[in-house]
Amino acid sequence: MSDKLTDETRETGDVLLPKFGADGLITGVVQDVRTLEILMVAFLDAEALTATQETGFAHFHSRSRSKLWKKGETSGNTLKVIEMRIDCDQDALVILAEPAGPACHTGARTCFYRKVEGASLAPVRT
């Protein structure tokens, strides 16, 4: 199959055909299914995607530890997957999830707790 045909199939087709990058990863954006707040961004390889689909809980590939990582495996703050959506070229996922607790390792509800104001950051009031 030519690259062009593959690209078209990816965009218009009804087959999951993730376009993993040279690093073997696609981007995962976790969104709270209830509030639609974006909770975190992490990366999935084929193993993490399979584990997420098989267990119903979000798994990622830890780039720093080079291994499969179930979100919340130590903290208990798991993410129950309600729905997953994939983008046009199939290199990014939106994971609509029910969080069991704060999604950020800092204890914040979301990793995006600061807004950018020029060269400074300010807390987001939510």
In the complex, the residues that contact its own copies under the rule CB under 8 A are 11-16, 27, 29, 31, 36-38, 40-41, 53, 83-89, 92-94, 104-106, 108, 111-116, 118-122, 124
Binding residues for Zn(2+): 88, 104, 111
Question: CB of residue 115 vs its own copies: minimum separation in angstroms?
Answer: 5
Question: CB of residue 104 vs its own copies: minimum separation in angstroms?
Answer: 6
> Residue 25, CB half-sphere, CA atoms under 13 Å: how many?
16
What contacts 34, CB < 8 A, 6 or more positions away? Answer: 98
Considering the complex, state which of residue 78 and residue 90 has its C-beta at the smaller distance from its own copies.
90
Question: CB of residue 76 vs its own copies: minimum separation in angstroms?
Answer: 18
Question: CB of residue 100 vs its own copies: minimum separation in angstroms?
Answer: 18
Considering the complex, state which of residue 15 and residue 76 has its C-beta at the smaller distance from its own copies.
15
DSSP 8-state symbol, 79: E
For residues 106 and 43, the answer to whether their CB atoms sit within 8 Å is: no
43: closest CA among 33, 32, 30, 56? 30
Binding residues for Mg(2+): 87, 89, 91
Sort 49 into a burial class: Cβ within 10 Å, 0-12 / 13-18 / 19+: buried
Binding residues: 87-89, 91, 104, 111
Ramachandran angles phi, psi of 64, nearest 5°: -75, -35
